[in-house]
DNA sequence: CCTGTGACATAAG
DNA sequence: CCTTATGCCACAG
């Protein structure tokens, strides 16, 4: 099908929208789940458009290191961190603590679902 | 079609 | 720890 390309953003939104409360995932994980592990940047970019979509909690998507690299795209300076902390996620210096504890793996969570 | 870009990831200095 | 460089790929103009 030729509509896979266009579905890329939709896929990103779909996965991001399924991130449960108090959980986080990485751009690379989503990208890989979508079959485009090298397109992690596209995931982030998709999140850029996600800012217009309330169903997509972009603040739950961080980089591989659990670092809030995308916080600069949020309204305030530490809004992203506050949102995560509000969900029970420990965030210190823009970095998620105990990432493994909060990490939400689309493969594990969705495939086994 | 070509160029620029980007919220990543990894490597190297 | 930091910055710089490269790859990678899809979208926008």
pLDDT in tens, A45-62: 999 989 888 899 999 999
Distance CA A60, CA A47 (A): 11
Name the pTM for this structure: 0.91
Q: What is the pLDDT, as a whole number, of residue A56? A: 94
CB of A6 nearer than 7 A to strand C: yes
Q: Which A residues between 26 and 85 have a beta carbon under 7 A from any strand C atom? A: 36, 38-42, 45, 49
Residue nearest to nucleotide C7 (CA to C1'): A38
Distance A78 CA to C2 C1' (A): 23
Distance CA A40, CA A92 (A): 24
Q: What is the pLDDT, as a whole number, of residue A109? A: 79
User: Among all chains, which residue has been given the structure tokens 């690299």?
Assistant: A69
Of the pLDDT bands very low, low, confident and very high (cuts 50, 70, 90), residue A111 is low
């Amino acid at each position: 099908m030729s509509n896979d390309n266009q579905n890329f953003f939709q896929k990103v939104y779909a996965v991001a929208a399924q991130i449960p409360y108090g959980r986080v995932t990485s751009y690379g994980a989503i990208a890989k789940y979508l079959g485009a592990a090298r397109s992690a940047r596209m995931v982030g970019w998709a999140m850029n458009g996600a800012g217009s979509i309330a169903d997509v909690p972009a603040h739950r998507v961080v980089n591989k290191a659990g670092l809030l690299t995308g916080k600069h795209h949020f309204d305030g300076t530490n809004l992203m961190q506050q949102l995560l902390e509000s969900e029970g996620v420990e965030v210190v210096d823009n970095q998620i603590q105990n990432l493994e504890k909060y990490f939400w793996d689309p493969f594990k969570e969705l495939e086994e679902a």
